[in-house]
Structure 1
Amino acid sequence: MTAEPIEVTEGTDNLFADLGLPDAEAHFLKAQLVAEIYRLTGARKLTQAKAGTLMGISQPEVSRLFKGHFREYSVDRLMTFLTAFDRDVEIVARPRAAEQGRGRIRFSAVEA
């Protein structure tokens, strides 16, 4: 039996855009925010119930959030969750060179 060759295409840093999903940039930003909330929860050794109490949501909501079900949360609400973990959230807008095309939205976390 001979295996058929598999076509491999290199993607970008945004899986949601690569899949052609609508609002890919916003969804990618939300995913990054949730990943940071998940990281902080683990770093503090919090249970989902304690993380939920900290953020003002229930444990089942935390579970859904960490399983990738975060469409119902706005970027603003996710940023508010980060502030509950004693994080400052800054939004910076800067010019982009014309030859680089449309501007991008990025998230980066700074560990203390």
Structure 2
Amino acid sequence: MTRIDHPQGTDNVLLDLGFDDAEELSAKAALALKLNELIDQRRLSQTEAAAITGMTQPKVSQVRRYKLQNISLERLMQALVSFDQHVEIVVRPAQPAQAHGITVVA
């Protein structure tokens, strides 16, 4: 039996797949996940969600499908605020046991 060495993965699958903007995409995905949960909880159509967030229906469609390349982090945060959410950004030094980077908890 031949042993196959696999590279050590990280907690960020997008980084492991080689995306240059993996941290930003992960942050966007976490925010989009929360936004989609709120849309689902309220049973809103894309048009209704667009009216609440100030986004266009096509942009809401992109969020619903996690096509986030053309949507900024700021826009996703503003959309969450329009759903009566509090978005908090915390900057602090990385701990020795923790890698530097971006983490979003939604």
Alignment-derived partner of residue 3 in structure 1: none
What is the aligned partner in structure 2 of residue 108 from structure 1?
Answer: 105
Which one has more relative contact order, counting CA pairs under 8 Å at least 6 apart? 2
Partners of 1:107 and 1:38 lie apart in 2 by 15
Selected match of 1:30 from 23, 28, 31: 28
CA RMSD of aligned residues (A): 2.2
Matches within 5 A, 1:1-112: 11-97=9-95, 99-100=96-97, 102-109=99-106
Shift in CA distance, 90/13, structure 1 to aligned 2, threshold 3 Å: same
| Paired residues, number | 103
Amino acid at match of 1:105: I
Matched position secondary structure for 1:100: coil
* Structure 1 gap ranges (5+): 1-6
Kindly, what percent of the aligned residue pairs are identical? 37
Tell me the TM-score normalized by structure 2.
0.83
TM-score norm. by structure 1 comes to 0.79
> Deviations for 1:57-106, whole angstroms, at most 9, x for unmatched residues?
22222112211211111111111111010011111112222x33641211
